[in-house]
Homo-oligomer: A and B are copies of this chain.
Amino acid sequence: MDLYGYWRSAATYRVRVALNLKGIGVHEIPIDLDKGEQDAPYFRAINPQGAVPALVEPGLPPLTQSLALLEYLEELHPHPALLPADPRGRARVRSLAAGIAADSHPLIVPRVRNYLMQREGFDATRWKAWQTQWFGEGLRTLEARLTTEPGTGKFCHGDMPTFADLCLMSCVIGVRVFKLDIGPTPTVDRIATACDELEAFARAHPKLQAGAPT
Contacts and interface: CB of A to CB of B under 8 A. Distances in A.
Interface of A: 48-49, 51, 60-61, 63-65, 67-69, 71-72, 75-76, 87-88, 90-92, 94-95, 97-99, 101-103, 106-107, 111-112, 115, 119-120, 126, 129-130, 133, 137, 141, 144-145, 148-150
B133 A67 contact: no
B87 A75 contact: yes
A68 B95 contact: yes
**Integer count of this chain's copies in the complex:** 2
Contact of A94 (B67, B111, B120): B67
A69 B115 CA distance: 31
Contacts of A130: 115
B49 A71 contact: no
